A and B are shown apart, each in its own frame.
Chain A
Amino acid sequence: MRSDFPIFSPRSSARPSRPLVYLDSAATSQKPAVVIEALSEHLRSHNANVHRGVYALAQEADAAYDGARSRVARFVGADARTTIFTKNATEAINLVAYSWGRANVRPGDAVLITQMEHHANIVPWQVLCRERGASLRYLEVDEYGELSLEQLDAELERGDVRLVAFAHVSNVLGTINPVAEMATRARAAGAVSLIDGAQAVPHMPVDVARIGADFYAWTGHKALGPTGIGVLHGRRELLEQMEPFLTGGDMISSVDFQQATWNELPYKFEAGTPPIAEAVGLGAAVEYLDGLGMERVRAHERSLTAYMLERLAQVPGLRVVGPPAADARGGLASFTLEGIHPHDIAELVDRAGVCIRAGHHCAQPLMRCLGVGATARASVGVYNDATDVDALIDALLAGREVFGL
Chain B
Amino acid sequence: MDDLYRDYILEHYKRPRNFGELEPHDLEAQEHNPLCGDELGVHIRVADDRIEDLRFHGHGCAISQAAASIASEELKGMSLQEVGELDADWMIELLGIPVSATRRKCALLNLKVVRGAVTGDHAWPT
A residues bordering B, Cβ < 8 Å?
A: 340-344, 347-348, 358-360, 364, 367, 373-374, 402-404
Contacts and interface: CB of A to CB of B under 8 A. Distances in A.
B37 A373 contact: yes
B41 to A, nearest CB: 14
Contact of B39 (A342, A343, A373, A404): A373
Contacts of A374: 36-38
A343 B10 contact: no
A298 to B, nearest CB: 31
A373 B106 CA distance: 14
B123 interface: no
Nearest to B38: A373
Given A402-B2, A402-B5, A403-B5, A341 B60 contact: yes
Interface in B56-100: 59-63, 65
B36 A343 contact: yes
Interface in B38-64: 38-39, 59-63
14 contacts: A341-B60, A341-B65, A342-B36, A343-B38, A344-B5, A347-B103, A359-B36, A360-B36, A364-B37, A367-B37, A373-B36, A373-B59, A373-B60, A403-B10
B35 interface: yes
Contacts of B106: 343
B66 to A, nearest CB: 10
A154 B125 CA distance: 49
Report which residue of B4, B5, B59, B61 has the largest number of chain A beta carbons within 10 angstroms of its beta carbon: B61
Contacts of B59: 341, 373
A359 B61 contact: no
Given A367-B37, A374-B38, A344 B2 contact: no
A359 B37 contact: yes
A362 to B, nearest CB: 10
A360 B36 CA distance: 6
Contacts of B36: 342-343, 358-360, 373-374
Contacts of B4: 347
Contacts of B10: 403-404
Nearest to A345: B61
Nearest to A373: B37
Contacts of B39: 373
A355 to B, nearest CB: 13
A13 to B, nearest CB: 20
B91 to A, nearest CB: 17
A343 B2 contact: no
Contacts of B38: 341, 343, 373-374
B62 to A, nearest CB: 5
Contacts of A404: 10
Contacts of B103: 343, 347
A342 B64 CA distance: 12
Contacts of B2: 402
Contact of B61 (A343, A360, A364): A343
Contacts of A343: 36, 38, 61, 63, 103, 106
Contacts of A364: 37
A342 B60 CA distance: 9
A402 B7 CA distance: 9
Nearest to A341: B61
A344 B37 contact: no
A344 B38 CA distance: 12
A160 to B, nearest CB: 32
Interface string B1-19: 0101100001000000000
Contacts of A341: 38, 59-62, 65
Interface in B19-45: 35-39
B61 A344 contact: yes
A341 B39 CA distance: 13
Contacts of B35: 359
Contacts of B5: 344, 348, 402-403
Contacts of A359: 35-37
Contacts of A348: 5
Given A343-B61, A348-B5, 20 more contacts: A341-B38, A341-B61, A341-B62, A342-B36, A342-B61, A343-B36, A343-B38, A343-B63, A343-B103, A344-B62, A344-B63, A347-B4, A347-B103, A359-B36, A360-B36, A364-B37, A367-B37, A373-B39, A373-B59, A402-B2
B36 to A, nearest CB: 5
A404 B60 CA distance: 18
A343 to B, nearest CB: 4
Nearest to A339: B14
